[in-house]
């Protein structure tokens, strides 16, 4: 049953531990000729899946081998390009930008519930709000199948075609209770109890079906375009998100103003599926989550580990250049440490059970902050020492329900690129500005240049005096204003110990990835932990004062960030980041010795090269394309004779014949400049 929107959007009311969707779909995307998308937020375009990388294209040259090889991937590119060329630019509205779309989606949820109860009279209705790209509704009924989903859609089409009016009615609470009881709808009674305002509003579809609801809706069902509505999936969801309550059947649907909008959305959805990091992680052998070890625990395979190594090296280099000291700290600590920090009071539901070791309780760390404070406390400090910046790639462990785990995006153990800055109060603004600059520098290296920024203020469940929160929030606001970034205020969205700045980064499809909690870039100013741990410094008057502590992470979780990178690039990593940068391919086994020399030369120059053989050349090339290898060095008899290789680029096509030294220097130059070949 649809209820007042203020209730439908409540996270506590609608949370569903069995259902954690992947990142929400965006309102737009453009052709990723450049993997960093710059586009108006309301624009959506069918993808032109060109293989040009970062805007770099190269001229094609003939391959000096026995045959010109045409691969399946080449044909796929052509087919995709033809399809994309036919698709016109489609602007997709959002619920916020189009009230008519919101009304359509809200009404579709009602129509779907009416259709379900017509086909399945014993089904009990619960809630069904509109969501970012459509709507859903939860039913207490027997499990549904895809075949039954089609029946429900046909019944929805009939209801829409009848052009029934949507009629608003106001009734007393007693009258609403009487009607609900007559229908034998127990969930409606529970929802009615949650509605505090009177009178109670009801919306009727004709005179055949009604629901508790505050609206808004279209005037007639005929205002919904049947060809712009699709039922997408069925999933399980606990009533009110409580695993101790009944399991419901949730039906997801999408609805748009026109058929063209639906087609564009479905095209995007297909592309998002192609980029799914869980699928690509298996295909490209990057990572796995082993059931024998437990859910939410990530195994980095050699190729994935290489990418992580490159990310970590870049992260360390930039931090060292900006005056940070690197740390390594333990994975466990005495439980008392987490009592002092406040985590046991404010974060216990996300922490694992304690371990009894020699009659002392120990705790897997959920965060790194207390460790960095202990390092600060190892010796006295003067005001001359500030700012003190420390950073760590520290693995933390947080409890997540098994139903909420999702690839690399929701895990139980992850490595956080954590850092803390100890500074004086008058240094806060400059230090936060420095963090924003560092964040921009690092994210740009990976192709992310568009962000959504939120300033999150004091939550209801928090610690510290209000004047401290006001000072901290003001410092963050001043730094953002100084940086010149636009931002929104997220009231009550801060951490329990301080306000924060949350960044959402935008990928090649225009999707925005939440950066608070476990993913890139919350910057927090904390006045509370220094007091809890009694950390001090001596000021210019030889008096003891408490320093300010700034928490920050740029990439957030390496696991989650890696998942975003996989989907951003669709597994086609840029040359500098690719786990294997070049395959050396012999035309026949008689060229193997020379190919080994070429491969060794690549490795000696820090280039990640591999020798592949044992198949015919067309198969070797196809395999390299499937593995998304940026470069292939093809070697035949002529190449051995002249001391050269014939280069085939995944993004630039056939590049002709090069001397080995020229090939090496070209690759090194491209890696240095983050360019493609």
Find the catalytic residue in 500, 552, 560, 608.
500
**For 344, phi and psi rounded to 5 degrees?**
-70, -25
Find the catalytic residue in 420, 568, 583, 650.
420
Active site residue 591: no
Query: For 447, left (φ over 0), alpha (ψ -120 to 50), or beta?
Result: left
Find the catalytic residue in 551, 568, 628, 650.
551
Query: How far apart are alpha carbons 662 and 39 in whole angstroms?
Result: 38
Query: Which class for 575: exposed (0-12), middle (13-18), buried (19 or more C-beta within 10 A)?
Result: buried
Find the catalytic residue in 108, 369, 515, 612.
369
The torsion of the CA quartet 519, 524, 529, 534, rounded to 10 degrees, works out to 130
Query: How far apart are alpha carbons 317 and 339 in whole angstroms?
Result: 35
Contact in structure between 160 and 217 (CB atoms under 8 Å): no
Query: How far apart are alpha carbons 675 and 672 in whole angstroms?
Result: 8
Q: Is 421 helix (H, G, I), strand (E, B) or coil?
A: strand
Find the catalytic residue in 117, 249, 363, 416.
416
DSSP state of 41: T
Residue 113 CA neighbour count, 13 Å, CB half: 29
Query: How far apart are alpha carbons 485 and 436 in whole angstroms?
Result: 10
Active site residue 85: no
Query: How far apart are alpha carbons 435 and 501 in whole angstroms?
Result: 11
Find the catalytic residue in 28, 188, 275, 398.
398
Active site residue 420: yes
Say if residue 94 is preceded by a cis peptide, omega within 30 of 0. no
Active site residue 581: no
Q: Is 10 helix (H, G, I), strand (E, B) or coil?
A: coil
Bridge-partner residues for 204, per DSSP?
A: 167, 210
Contact in structure between 45 and 263 (CB atoms under 8 Å): no
User: With the C-alpha atoms ordered 591, 592, 598, 602, is the resulting torsion angle positive or negative?
Assistant: positive
Query: For 142, left (φ over 0), alpha (ψ -120 to 50), or beta?
Result: beta
Find the catalytic residue in 418, 502, 507, 526.
418
**For 216, phi and psi rounded to 5 degrees?**
-90, 165
Biggest CA-to-CA distance, the chain: 94
Kindly provide the residue ranges of all beta strands, DSSP E only, lying in 365-443, ordered along the sequence: 388-397, 413-423
Question: How many C-beta atoms lie closer than 10 Å to residue 432's C-beta?
Answer: 26
Query: How far apart are alpha carbons 461 and 346 in whole angstroms?
Result: 8
Task: Give me the DSSP letters along 231-251.
Answer: EEEEEEEEGGG-TTSPEEEEE
Task: Give me the DSSP letters along 270-318.
Answer: HHHHHT-HHHHHHHTT-EEE-TTT-TT-EEE-HHHHHHHHHHHHHHHHH
Query: How far apart are alpha carbons 350 and 338 in whole angstroms?
Result: 12
Query: How far apart are alpha carbons 429 and 431 in whole angstroms?
Result: 6
Query: How far apart are alpha carbons 377 and 533 in whole angstroms?
Result: 9
Q: Is 276 helix (H, G, I), strand (E, B) or coil?
A: coil
Structure tokens at 246: 């009944």
Query: How far apart are alpha carbons 216 and 103 in whole angstroms?
Result: 6
Contact in structure between 418 and 368 (CB atoms under 8 Å): yes
User: With the C-alpha atoms ordered 83, 84, 87, 93, is the resulting torsion angle positive or negative?
Assistant: positive
Q: Is 649 helix (H, G, I), strand (E, B) or coil?
A: strand
Active site residue 500: yes
User: Alpha helix (H) ranges present in 16-145?
Assistant: 72-86, 99-119
Nearest to 137 by CA among 6, 249, 10: 249
Query: How far apart are alpha carbons 567 and 25 in whole angstroms?
Result: 13
Catalytic residues: 369, 398, 416, 418, 420, 500, 551
């Amino acid at each position: 049953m649809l209820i007042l929107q203020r209730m439908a959007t409540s996270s506590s009311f609608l949370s569903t531990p069995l259902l954690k969707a992947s990142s929400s779909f965006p309102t737009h995307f453009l052709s990723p000729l450049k993997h960093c998308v710059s586009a108006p937020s309301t624009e959506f375009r069918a993808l032109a899946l060109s293989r040009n990388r970062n805007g770099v294209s190269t001229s094609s040259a003939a391959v000096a081998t026995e045959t010109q090889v045409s691969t399946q991937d080449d044909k796929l590119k052509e087919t995709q390009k033809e399809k994309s060329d036919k698709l016109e630019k489609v602007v997709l509205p959002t619920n916020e930008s189009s009230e008519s779309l919101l009304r359509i989606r809200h009404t579709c949820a009602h129509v779907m519930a009416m259709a379900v109860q017509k086909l399945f009279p014993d089904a009990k209705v619960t809630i069904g709000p509109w969501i970012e790209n459509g709507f859903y509704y939860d039913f207490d009924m027997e499990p549904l199948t895809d075949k039954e989903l089609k029946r429900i859609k046909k019944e929805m089409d009939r209801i829409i075609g009848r052009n029934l009016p949507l009629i608003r009615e106001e009734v007393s609470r007693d009258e609403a209770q009487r009607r609900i009881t007559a229908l034998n709808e127990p969930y409606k009674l529970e929802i009615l109890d949650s509605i505090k305002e009177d009178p109670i509003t009801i919306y009727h579809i004709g005179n055949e079906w009604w629901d508790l609801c505050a609206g808004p809706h279209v005037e007639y069902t005929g205002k919904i375009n049947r060809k712009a509505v699709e039922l997408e999936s069925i999933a399980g969801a606990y009533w009110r998100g409580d695993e101790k309550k009944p399991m419901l059947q949730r039906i997801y649907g999408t609805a748009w103003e026109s058929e063209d909008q639906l087609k564009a959305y479905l095209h995007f959805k297909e592309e998002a599926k192609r980029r799914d990091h869980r699928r690509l992680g298996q295909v490209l052998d990057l990572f796995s989550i082993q059931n024998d070890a437990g859910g939410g625990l990530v195994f980095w395979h050699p190729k994935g580990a290489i990418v992580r190594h490159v990310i970590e090296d870049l992260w360390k280099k930039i931090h060292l250049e900006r005056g940070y000291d690197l740390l390594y700290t333990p994975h466990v600590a005495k439980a008392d440490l987490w009592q002092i920090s406040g985590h046991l009071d404010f974060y216990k539901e996300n922490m694992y059970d304690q371990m009894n070791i020699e009659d002392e309780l120990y705790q897997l760390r959920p965060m790194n902050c207390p460790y960095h404070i202990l390092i600060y406390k190892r010796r006295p400090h003067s005001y001359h020492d500030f700012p003190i910046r420390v950073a760590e790639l520290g693995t933390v462990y947080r409890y997540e329900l098994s139903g909420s785990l999702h690839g690399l995006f929701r895990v139980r153990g992850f490595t956080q690129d954590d850092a803390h800055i100890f500074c004086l109060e008058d240094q806060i603004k400059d230090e936060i500005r420095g963090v924003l600059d560092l964040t921009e520098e690092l994210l740009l290296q990976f192709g992310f240049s568009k962000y959504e920024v939120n300033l999150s203020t004091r939550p209801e469940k928090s610690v510290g005096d209000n004047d401290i929160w006001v000072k901290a929030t003001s410092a963050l606001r001043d730094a953002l204003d100084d940086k010149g970034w636009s931002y929104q205020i997220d009231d009550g969205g801060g951490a329990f110990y301080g306000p924060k700045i949350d960044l959402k980064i935008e990928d090649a499809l225009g999707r925005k990835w939440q950066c608070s909690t476990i993913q890139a870039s919350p910057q927090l100013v904390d006045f509370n932990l220094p007091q809890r741990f009694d950390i001090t410094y001596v000021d210019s008057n030889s008096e003891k004062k408490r320093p300010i502590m700034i928490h920050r992470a740029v990439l957030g979780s390496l696991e989650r960030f890696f998942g975003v990178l996989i989907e951003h690039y669709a597994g086609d990593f840029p040359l500098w980041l690719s786990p294997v940068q070049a395959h050396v391919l012999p035309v026949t086994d008689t060229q193997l010795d020379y190919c080994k020399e070429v491969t060794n030369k690549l490795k000696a120059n820090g280039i990640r090269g591999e020798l592949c053989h044992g198949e015919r050349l067309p198969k070797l090339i196809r395999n390299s394309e499937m593995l998304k290898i940026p470069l292939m060095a093809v070697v035949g008899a002529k190449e051995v004779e002249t001391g050269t290789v014939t280069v085939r680029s995944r993004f630039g096509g056939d590049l002709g014949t090069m001397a080995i030294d020229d090939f090496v220097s070209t690759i090194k130059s491209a890696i240095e400049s983050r360019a493609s070949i």
